[in-house]
Amino acid sequence: MLTRSVACPTLLMFNIKYAARNIHSLSKAPCICQQARIRTTLLRACQQYQQLRVKPLELIRVYSTQSDHHRQKVVIDTSEPKIVLDKEDKLKTEGRLRSKPLWEHVEPYVHLSRLNKPIGIFLLYWPCSWSILLGALEAAPPAPAVAAHLATFLAGAALMRSAGCVINDLWDRDIDAQVERTKSRPLVTGAVSPRAAVALLGVQLSSALALLLTMNWFTVALCASSMVLVVSYPLAKRVIRYPQAAGSLVPAGEARDPVPAGVAGRGVLVGRAGGGAALCGHVPAPCLYMYLGNVAFTTMFDTVYAFQDKSDDARIGINSTALTFGAGGKTALAALGAGAAAAWGAGGAAAGLDWPYYVALAGVGGHLAHQIYTLNPDDAADCDRKFRSNSWVGLLLFLGVLGGGWRQYRDRAYPAETPGEGSA
C-alpha cells in the first residue's frame, strides 16, 4: 500500500494511495473526517521514515480546496514543499519542486562526460594548438584559417575527451564500483544506463567525425588509425605494467581524466602531430619532436594522478606506472619531465622559433621541477593539485610558440606587409 515519491532532496515515502482513492468523496462526506484519515496516514508514513533514519518532512496541516477546474483536491502543508493530492490519484508538488528540473535530467550525462571537470579538455587541446601553430609556420595560411582550425580543434577536444570518458566508464564500471572515489559515477549508480551511455557516445563520435571530415584526408587517416588505441586503452592496465605510457602513444592527442586505478579517458580529433597535418597535408618535423615530448609529459602527469589510487590499484590488481615505479617514482617523474623539456626544445629549434619560445620553455621547466620536487606521492590531495596544474604547461608553450613564431609566420603569410617591402 505504500507508494514512493520524490518530494524533496531527501527521498520521502507517503502512504497516499488510500488518501488519493477517497478524495472524490470529500464533497459528499464531512471534510474534516477525510482530513483526519489523511493526517493519520501521513503521520504513520513519517514514523516509518523515522525508523529508516530518514528525516521526514514536518506535517503542518491538511485541508481541502477547489482547483481552478472545480476539482476537489487536498493540500498537505509540510515544511517543504507543499504536496497536492487531486482526485485523479496524481501526486503534485507546488513551488520549486512542481516538476523535476531539467538539470536533474542532464546532470548525470554531464558527469559521465566529465564536462564538470574541464581540465582534461585543456590537457588535450593545448598539444593540438601547438601543432596547429607549428603547421602554420610551414603552410602559411591566412590568419582566419589558423583561428578557424584552433576553434575547430577546441570543439573536437571537448567532444573526444568526453567520448573517451564514456568509453572508459563503459569498460570499467565494475572497477569503479570497487573504488571509494568513483563508486558514485553515473554508470555505477544506475543514473545512466549502459544503453543510454552508448547512445551518448554515438552522438559524440558522430559530431567529432563531422568536424574531422572538414580536414584533409591525411589527417582523417591519421586520426582514424589512432582510434584503435583510444578504444582499447582501458584494457592496457589489465595487461601491461605501464598503461600510462601506452596511452600516451595515441598519436592524435589525449586527455587525462581523473578516473580510478590509473585509467585515463582518452580522446582524439586531430591533435599533437595531427594539428600540423591538418594544415600541411603531412606531419612537419617540429610536430614530431613536440609529439615525443608529449609522450613523456603525458606519462608523467598521468603517473602523478595515478599516485592517488595506488592503494586501490594494488587491492584490485590493476597495473599502473605509480605501482611499477614504486619507491623510485619521483626519480622516474624527473626523468620524464627532463625528456619532455628536451624534446620540446628540439622542436622549437627545428621550427626556428625565436627567444619568446625559450623563455616560455624555461618557465615550463621550472614548473615541472617544482612540481616533482614538492610532490608528496602519499597525499592524494597534493597529487590532484599537481596534476591539475599541468594545464599551465600547455598554455605557456602555446604562448611561447605564438610569440616565438609570429615574425616567421608574418613574413611567410603576409610578405607584402613586411616592413621595407613596399619601398623596394
Same structural domain for residues 139 and 180?
yes
Q: What's the mean pLDDT in 344-372?
A: 96
Separation between Cα atoms, residue 50 and residue 17, nearest integer Å = 20
> Could you tell me which residue, 389 or 215, shows the higher pLDDT?
389
Q: Single out the residue of 92, 101, 97 nearest to residue 10, CA to CA.
A: 97
For residue 321, what is its C-alpha cell?
A: 606506472
Percentage of the chain modeled with pLDDT above 90: 32
Instruction: Identify the pLDDT of residue 236.
Output: 72
Separation between Cα atoms, residue 307 and residue 313, nearest integer Å = 10
Final residue belonging to a domain, choices 72, 99, 126: 99
Same structural domain for residues 305 and 328?
yes
Instruction: Identify the pLDDT of residue 50.
Output: 54
Q: What is the pLDDT of residues 265-291, one digit of tens each?
A: 222 333 444 444 454 455 678 888 998
What is the residue-wise DSSP string for 18-30?
Answer: HHHHTGGGTTTS-
Is the residue at 420 inside a domain?
no
Separation between Cα atoms, residue 191 and residue 108, nearest integer Å = 6
Instruction: Identify the pLDDT of residue 37.
Output: 64
Task: Residue 13: give the domain boundaries.
Answer: 3-99
DSSP conformational letter for 57: P
Is the residue at 253 inside a domain?
yes
> Under a CB-based contact definition with an 8 Å cutoff, are residues 180 and 168 in contact?
no
Instruction: Identify the pLDDT of residue 417.
Output: 60
> Under a CB-based contact definition with an 8 Å cutoff, are residues 96 and 81 in contact?
yes
Same structural domain for residues 222 and 93?
no
Same structural domain for residues 64 and 115?
no
Instruction: Identify the pLDDT of residue 203.
Output: 96
**CB within 8 Å of 121: residues ≥ 6 apart:** 157, 158, 161, 255
Statement: residue 362 has pLDDT above 90: yes
Statement: residue 204 has pLDDT above 60: yes
Same structural domain for residues 8 and 137?
no
Statement: residue 114 has pLDDT above 70: yes
> Could you tell me which residue, 342 or 188, shows the higher pLDDT?
342
Q: How confident is the model at residue 25 (pLDDT cuts 50, 70, 90)?
A: very low
Is the residue at 374 inside a domain?
yes
Instruction: Identify the pLDDT of residue 306.
Output: 86
The β-bridge partners of 84 are 75, 92
Alpha helices in 181-307 (DSSP H): 186-189, 194-212, 217-239, 243-248, 273-280, 285-306
Instruction: Identify the pLDDT of residue 308.
Output: 86
Is the residue at 419 inside a domain?
no
Instruction: Identify the pLDDT of residue 39.
Output: 60
Instruction: Identify the pLDDT of residue 33.
Output: 56
Separation between Cα atoms, residue 168 and residue 257, nearest integer Å = 10
Same structural domain for residues 85 and 113?
no
Same structural domain for residues 71 and 123?
no
Same structural domain for residues 148 and 226?
yes
> Under a CB-based contact definition with an 8 Å cutoff, are residues 261 and 313 in contact?
yes
Dihedral pair phi/psi, residue 179, rounded to 5°:
-110, 125
Q: What is the pLDDT of residues 75-87, one digit of tens each?
A: 555 545 445 444 4
Q: Single out the residue of 284, 287, 280, 323 nearest to residue 303, CA to CA.
A: 323
Is the residue at 288 inside a domain?
yes
Final residue belonging to a domain, choices 99, 131, 149: 99
Q: How confident is the model at residue 40 (pLDDT cuts 50, 70, 90)?
A: low
> Could you tell me which residue, 6 or 215, shows the higher pLDDT?
215
Same structural domain for residues 176 and 114?
yes
For the chain, the C-alpha Rg in angstroms (whole number) is 29
Q: First CA to last CA across the chain, in angstroms?
A: 94
Q: What is the pLDDT of residues 225-258, one digit of tens each?
A: 777 777 777 777 777 777 776 666 554 333 333 3
Same structural domain for residues 22 and 116?
no
Q: What is the mean pLDDT of the chain?
A: 74
Residue 102, exposed/middle/buried by CB under 10 A (0-12, 13-18, 19+)? exposed
Separation between Cα atoms, residue 161 and residue 60, nearest integer Å = 50
Cβ neighbours of 83 (radius 10 Å): 24
Statement: residue 180 has pLDDT above 60: yes
Instruction: Identify the pLDDT of residue 330.
Output: 93
Statement: residue 46 has pLDDT above 60: no
Same structural domain for residues 16 and 127?
no
- Number of domain units in the chain: 2
Same structural domain for residues 214 and 289?
yes
Final residue belonging to a domain, choices 83, 99, 115: 99
CATH number for position 136: 1.10.357.140
**CB within 8 Å of 394: residues ≥ 6 apart:** 122, 123, 125, 126, 127, 129, 130
Q: How confident is the model at residue 47 (pLDDT cuts 50, 70, 90)?
A: low
Is the residue at 330 inside a domain?
yes
Statement: residue 132 has pLDDT above 50: yes
The β-bridge partners of 65 are 73
Q: How confident is the model at residue 93 (pLDDT cuts 50, 70, 90)?
A: very low
Separation between Cα atoms, residue 204 and residue 287, nearest integer Å = 27
Statement: residue 63 has pLDDT above 50: no
Is the residue at 423 inside a domain?
no
Is the residue at 122 inside a domain?
yes
For residue 84, what is its C-alpha cell?
A: 497536492
Instruction: Identify the pLDDT of residue 390.
Output: 92
Torsion of CA 300, 384, 166, 200, to 10 degrees: -130
